[in-house]
Amino acid sequence: MFSQYFISDKCVYSDHVCEVNYDIPIDENFDNSYLLNYYLCITLLSVLPLAFCTWCFTDVFTKFWAYDWKTSRDWGSCMIFFMILYNLLIFIIPEKIETCEFPISCHEGLNDTIVSTNYYYQMKECPKVNPWLADYYSDYYGIQDCENSEWGCCEIDTDSIICSEFVDETYSYYEYGKNYYHGYWKIQINKIDENGSNCPSIEEMIYELSNNDKNDYVLLSILMTSFSILILIIINICLICNSKKIYTQTEDIETQPFSPKNRILVGNA
């Protein structure tokens, strides 16, 4: 039996490559048990700024402006409830993730078939073809004009490239291709030296692309919290302006000069 590996930030090793646990399904190697604490932290970090802003408007700013603090508190409470509900829905309705495989070596199976050793990784949608890494990686980091540069473009040259090119063929055809085909992938990224020490490995490319393909819930939470705080500030500014307007109108009525039409006539019995 040939070893199989998975690539994920769940793996404790520095290269994020771990051998799979063969006693459980492949999907369960991507352990998501940490997500509960992760979402609780995100929810807490989302609610605290809103709670602080609500407290400022209802307890601090009321000393400087006389306005309807109860309405402000109600709006703040609604924003806090909305953020808790938003994070709860994220946890209840998880992101759709597929477990994909990438062949790293090919071996002979029964009836001239190929048995591959694979890297497993997760993305929102698995690539349709095996030689996807080079194009995806170049597109993600921006295609550079490296053809005429001092050291040229990064190149990946390993047995896994030949295996990925021929994995859907017969083993005999794979052997033929391995003997006569020197496979390599060119990545449109400039080498910084002759050895291309900045060029990524296949494992690094899979990890970066699969990890970046997932939703950044921390960033989304920050954006939602910022938007909620902005709405809360606008609402309170409107409340302050409205209160000042009402106060000014009341003050104008109280300072109006006496006129006969304002006189109350009292009759004698």
For 122, residues 6+ apart whose C-beta sits below 8 A from its C-beta are 8, 30, 97, 98, 99, 100, 210, 214
Q: What is the pLDDT of residues 24-64, one digit of tens each?
A: 888 888 876 656 666 777 778 888 888 888 777 776 666 55
* Higher local confidence (pLDDT), 239 or 61: 239
What pLDDT band is residue 263 in, cutting at 50, 70 and 90?
very low
- The closest of 217, 192, 183, 187 to 204, measured between CA atoms, is 187
pTM of the model: 0.66
d(CA 82, CA 1): 51
What pLDDT band is residue 244 in, cutting at 50, 70 and 90?
low
